[in-house]
Amino acid sequence: DTGVSQNPRHKITKRGQNVTFRCDPISEHNRLYWYRQTLGQGPEFLTYFQNEAQLEKSRLLSDRFSAERPKGSFSTLEIQRTEQGDSAMYLCASTESIGQRETQYFGPGTRLLVL
Amino acid sequence: KQEVTQIPAALSVPEGENLVLNCSFTDSAIYNLQWFRQDPGKGLTSLLLIQSSQREQTSGRLNASLDKSSGRSTLYIAASQPGDSATYLCAVRPIGNTPLVFGKGTRLSVIA
């Protein structure tokens, strides 16, 4: 399967714990996006990378959130000191950077539940 | 700030019916508009992408139209089937920006 993959698919944690999610984009896609989706809402942008550079971060990305893409391939999203409000689906998307015709391909998501 | 609205929020139709889902956006300065399908607890599957210069795109029983000047798009589903039951999300890519801006989706149920 050459699509976007995300691990784990599900994560249950207790409030205050740290969690880390991984996204493997489609091979050779140089842009990678993270979105968050809460129940009944559309996905909201968190951050994106062009190769290994983090180019934009949303105001939704508080100090407890950090994302990396160290070698320009896979990416990790870490949430420190989780809160119940962090419970959501975390979606990753990748794309070739081809200007106006860019199409984002989404992974299956990681569903986080903070107890 | 770009805002995307989808109406209705939920829709239930009998199998075989043709239906239309609506999407509106507040700023016409977009590169493109994309329709996605999302099954419960799953990720997003891209259905159709319409560039700002295009008026419509078709794929099988799906047809999406775009009227950029009025900030509207519709997704037409012909001869609906129970397998079409899912949430349908509309998203725009604003000019000068890279992330997509999504609506809240329309939850479709097709009853056999």
**pLDDT tens digit sequence for B13-36:** 999 999 999 999 999 999 999 999
Q: How far apart are CA A100 and CA A50, in angstroms?
A: 16
Q: Return the closest-CA partner of residue A97 out of A37, A46, A36, A53.
A: A53
Q: Does A74 touch chain B (CB under 8 A)?
A: no
Q: What is the pLDDT of residue B37?
A: 97
DSSP A59-96: TT--TTEEEE-TTSS-EEEEESS--GGG-EEEEEEEE-
- From residue A67, give the alpha-carbon distance in Å to each of A46, A55, A86: 10, 11, 15
User: Are the Cβ atoms of A44 and B102 closer than 8 angstroms?
Assistant: yes
Mean pLDDT taken over chain A: 92
Point out the residue among A6, A55, A103 whose CB comes nearest to the CB of B49: A103
Give the whole-number percent of chain B exceeding pLDDT 70.
Answer: 100
User: Which site among B6, B36, B44 would you substitute to test the A interface, given the most A Cβ atoms closer than 10 Å to its Cβ?
Assistant: B44
Contact by Cβ (8 Å): A32, A25: yes
CB atoms within 10 A of CB B103: 24
Q: What is the pLDDT of residue A115?
A: 96
Q: What is the pLDDT of residue B42?
A: 87
Chain A residues near residue B101 by CB distance under 8 angstroms: 45
Give the pairing of strands B4-7 and B56-59: unpaired
User: Are the Cβ atoms of A101 and B51 closer than 8 angstroms?
Assistant: yes
Residues of chain B with pLDDT below 70 are none
User: Are the Cβ atoms of A48 and B99 closer than 8 angstroms?
Assistant: yes
Q: What is the pLDDT of residue A1?
A: 53
**HSE-up (13 A, CA, CB side) for residue A47:** 21
Q: Return the closest-CA partner of residue A85 out of A9, A7, A10, A16.
A: A16
Mean pLDDT split into 10-residue runs, chain A, 115 residues: 89 97 94 94 95 90 93 94 96 83 89 97
Q: How far apart are CA B10 and CA B107, in angstroms?
A: 4
Q: How far apart are CA A67 and CA A46, in angstroms?
A: 10
DSSP B66-84: EEGGGTEEEEEE-S--GGG
Mean pLDDT taken over chain B: 94
Q: Does A34 touch chain B (CB under 8 A)?
A: no
